C-alpha cells in the first residue's frame, strides 16, 4: 500500500512540476500548481521513510530524500520570505528547478532494473542519473536569465508576483 501512495505522490509531482516549468510564472495558477507540487513532494519524501525493501534499514535513498527535502524547503522559503531578500526570485528558481531535476533522477532510480537489456550498471547510471542531471543543468543555467527577466517583466507589469 505504501508503495502505491508513494508512486501516486511521485506521479503528481512529476506532472505538476512539468506544468509549472512550462507555464507562465507568478500567476495564481502557477502558485496553485506549485503548492500541488510541494505537497506531493512532501508526501513523496515522507512516504519514502516507510520503505525499507531494498536495504532493510535506512539506506542511500533515504539520504537522498533528506537532500530532496532540503531543496524543496529552500525553494519554498525564499518566496515566502521575499520581503527579506532582493534576489529571492533567483533563489527560488534555482532551488525549485534542482528539486525537479532530483525528482526526475529519483524516478530513474526506480527504472534502473528495467534498463536496456545487456547494459552494464555504469551505463544505466549514466542514462538515468547522468543524463537528467546534465540536461537539467544545461536548461537551468541556460535559461536562467531569460526566465528571471521574463518573470521580472511580468512582476513590473502586474505590480507584484
Measured CA to CA, the distance from residue 121 to residue 115 in angstroms comes to 9
Q: How far is CA 103 from the centre of its chain?
A: 5
User: Which range marks the domain in which residue 144 is found?
Assistant: 2-158
pLDDT of residue 156: 47
Average pLDDT for consecutive 10-residue bins of the chain (161 residues)?
90 96 88 97 92 67 88 95 87 95 89 81 86 92 77 53 52
Give the single-character DSSP code of 83: G
Residue 26 CB partners (closer than 8 Å, separation 6+): 151, 154, 155, 158, 161
pTM: 0.83
Number of structural domains the chain divides into = 1
Amino acid at each position: 500500500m505504501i508503495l502505491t501512495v508513494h508512486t501516486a505522490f511521485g506521479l503528481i509531482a512529476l506532472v505538476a512540476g512539468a506544468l509549472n516549468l512550462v507555464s507562465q510564472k507568478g500567476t495564481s495558477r502557477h502558485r496553485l500548481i506549485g503548492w500541488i507540487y510541494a505537497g506531493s513532494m512532501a508526501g513523496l519524501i515522507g512516504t519514502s521513510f516507510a520503505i525499507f525493501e531494498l536495504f532493510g534499514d535506512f539506506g542511500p535513498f533515504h539520504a537522498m530524500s533528506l537532500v530532496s527535502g532540503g531543496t524543496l524547503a529552500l525553494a519554498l522559503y525564499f518566496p515566502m520570505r521575499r520581503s527579506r531578500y532582493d534576489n529571492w526570485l533567483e533563489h527560488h528558481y534555482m532551488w525549485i528547478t534542482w528539486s525537479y531535476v532530483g525528482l526526475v533522477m529519483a524516478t530513474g532510480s526506480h527504472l534502473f532494473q528495467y534498463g536496456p537489456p545487456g547494459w552494464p550498471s555504469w551505463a544505466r547510471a549514466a542514462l538515468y542519473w547522468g543524463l537528467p542531471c546534465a540536461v537539467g543543468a544545461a536548461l537551468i543555467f541556460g535559461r536562467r536569465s531569460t526566465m528571471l527577466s521574463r518573470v521580472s517583466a511580468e512582476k513590473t507589469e502586474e505590480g507584484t508576483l
